[in-house]
Amino acid sequence: MTKLTIFSWSLLVCVLLLLSIVFGLQACTKDDGFPKPPLILPLYLEKAGNKIETNIRIVKNDAYYFRLRFSYKENDQVDRARVRNLTGDHKTDKSGKALQPGIPNPVRLRVSALEAGQEHEIYVKEVDPILTSWGADSFEKIIGFVRLEPGIYKVELENLRSSSEFNETPVTFTITDSGKS
């Protein structure tokens, strides 16, 4: 064999080996289609019983926060005031009850671990959340948080009260980690 032929075969073997490694790694890390936090999902409060159901993949052991986000038009003080009236205030009395609660929007959050075809409920909370934070274009209410280990989880959020007052307000359900590494 000539040096060129040996080099060509060696190069071909190296390329094939490299391709098999790349495709092998892709197979090991194949995406199963489950979204990973952070997630932002639209929520419609017009009708009691409206639900969001999604399966999520958790890849990091962490505390995960579940929130309602009420958006308003950025730099529009009239729209901001309108949405603030709906969401209420963050001030509470000694018992933790909101002093100015705004329009009630009670929800039920259920988180279940999915393992080997079985569903194991690990967290359930029914709450009418109060305002906890705000930003340049939204107000937020924390529904709850739970520490989750890596795995697949089913998350369900159910609206428990019809609230047509929110028809003109984009509302989303967000799932985020703690933001700490």
Q: Where are the domains of the chain?
A: 1-30, 37-177
Cβ atoms of residues 69 and 174 within 8 Å: yes
> What's the rounded Cα separation, in Å, for the pair 90 and 168?
22
Strand segments, DSSP code E, in 18-88 are 39-42, 51-58, 62-71
Q: What does the DSSP 8-state code read for residue 167?
A: T
Q: Which residues are CB-neighbours of 150 under 8 A, at least 6 positions away?
A: 58, 59, 60, 61
Cβ atoms of residues 110 and 122 within 8 Å: no
Position 5 scores a pLDDT of 57
Position 78 scores a pLDDT of 96
Q: What is the mean pLDDT of each run of 10 residues along the chain (181 residues)?
A: 55 50 49 89 95 97 97 95 94 86 95 94 96 94 96 98 95 90 42
Token duo for residue 121 = 């409920």
Question: pTM of the predicted model, to two decimals?
Answer: 0.79
Quick one: fold of 37-177? Jelly Rolls (2.60.120)
